[in-house]
Amino acid sequence: MNFKEQYNSTKVKVEKELLYFIEKKKEKKQDIIYQAMEYSLNAGGKRFRPVLHLETIRLLGGNPEDYMDSACALEYIHTYSLLHDDLPAMDNDDFRRGVPTNHKVFGEDIAILAGDGLLNTAFEILLQKTVDSRDEAVAEGSLYISRKAGTEGMIGGQVVDVISDGKQIDMGTLEYIHERKTAALIEAAIVSAAIMMKCRPEERQALEVYASKLGLAFQIADDILDVEGSFEELGKPIGSDAENQKLTFASYYGLDKAKEKLQQVVEEAIHALSVFDKKDFFVELTKYTATRRS
């Protein structure tokens, strides 16, 4: 299988399992919350974080089928973050993944609760896995995900982003925001798999470096796409960074330099994979991250 086939095959497997965790708990009286959660989960997306999690398991010799639950938990966390990020109190966006945002369809009150429901379900899935496996490594991997999704990670990045709104920030602050807001969950997907697989310390160290470089590459590509992409490709309006006068890698460096910086980070990420023999998928994935159009 080439890179694209493998990525798509793993993505399809994730999508088959994704709704299982809420399907079993549906209650008629509050059906609307499940409709809202399903709406955002079903809206598409690259499923980048669950694919990273499962492919890291495979890289380390494990069976991805055994980690479908933790992979789905990561997509639940990611989906909640997008849903809350789109709310009127945050970015006030009308479109996400090519369809109207959750609050546009279900109203702000249900959208907030749907985000909460997604986040809570994610930790329910991770705790259930921990209880069922009685494996300390699963508990530690889940703890890592909770830290990276929380105030030390994604929420923390979002906080600094929100309080920086309308202010001039420096590159150091921009990096602080992106290391947390975007890269932290990408790191969580990869490193939690390494922890759950009880890999060797040098492998874990390599994956930590790789994951943070990949997260940075993902963000630089995102900034470039906000200038060069289209609504059809991204499923949301482009140019929002410029419109909101946000400092981005593209506005700070200019497009050409941002692309050079992206290339440099991609090379550093690939270099970090040197300790692995079967690294082809991740080498291709890193290149794809930089050239992606959606």
Residues in contact with ligand GRG by the rule CB under 6 A: 45-46, 48, 78, 81-82, 84-85, 97, 154-155, 158, 181-182, 219, 222
Q: Give whichever of 9 and 128 is closer to ligand GRG, judged by the CB atom.
A: 9
Q: Give whichever of 47 and 129 is closer to ligand GRG, judged by the CB atom.
A: 47
**Shortest distance (Å) from residue 43 CB to ligand GRG:** 8
**Shortest distance (Å) from residue 149 CB to ligand GRG:** 8
**What is the residue whose two structure tokens read 């479908």?**
68
Q: Are 259 and 290 in contact (CB under 8 A)?
A: no
The C-alpha atoms of residue 240 and residue 246 are separated, in whole angstroms, by 8
**Shortest distance (Å) from residue 223 CB to ligand GRG:** 8
Minimal CB distance to ligand GRG: which residue? 45
Residue 185 CB contacts under 8 Å (≥ 6 apart), including other chains: 49, 74, 77, 78, 81, 148, 149, 153, 154
Q: Give whichever of 88 and 278 is closer to ligand GRG, judged by the CB atom.
A: 88
How would DSSP label each residue in 50-94?
A: HHHHHHHHHHTT--GGGGHHHHHHHHHHHHHHHHHHHSTTTT--S
The C-alpha atoms of residue 293 and residue 23 are separated, in whole angstroms, by 32
Q: Give whichever of 131 and 163 is closer to ligand GRG, judged by the CB atom.
A: 163
**Shortest distance (Å) from residue 158 CB to ligand GRG:** 4
Strand partners of residue 96:
99
The C-alpha atoms of residue 260 and residue 98 are separated, in whole angstroms, by 29
Q: Give whichever of 99 and 137 is closer to ligand GRG, judged by the CB atom.
A: 99
**Shortest distance (Å) from residue 201 CB to ligand GRG:** 29
- Encoded tokens for 155: 């929420």
**Shortest distance (Å) from residue 56 CB to ligand GRG:** 16
Q: Give whichever of 34 and 80 is closer to ligand GRG, judged by the CB atom.
A: 80
The C-alpha atoms of residue 194 and residue 190 are separated, in whole angstroms, by 7
The C-alpha atoms of residue 178 and residue 161 are separated, in whole angstroms, by 9
The C-alpha atoms of residue 255 and residue 227 are separated, in whole angstroms, by 9
**Shortest distance (Å) from residue 97 CB to ligand GRG:** 5
**Shortest distance (Å) from residue 276 CB to ligand GRG:** 24
Q: Give whichever of 154 and 214 is closer to ligand GRG, judged by the CB atom.
A: 154
Q: Give whichever of 126 and 223 is closer to ligand GRG, judged by the CB atom.
A: 223
Strand partners of residue 216:
none
Per-residue CA distances from 181 to 14, 159, 218 (Å): 23, 9, 12
- Cβ count within 10 A of residue 21: 20
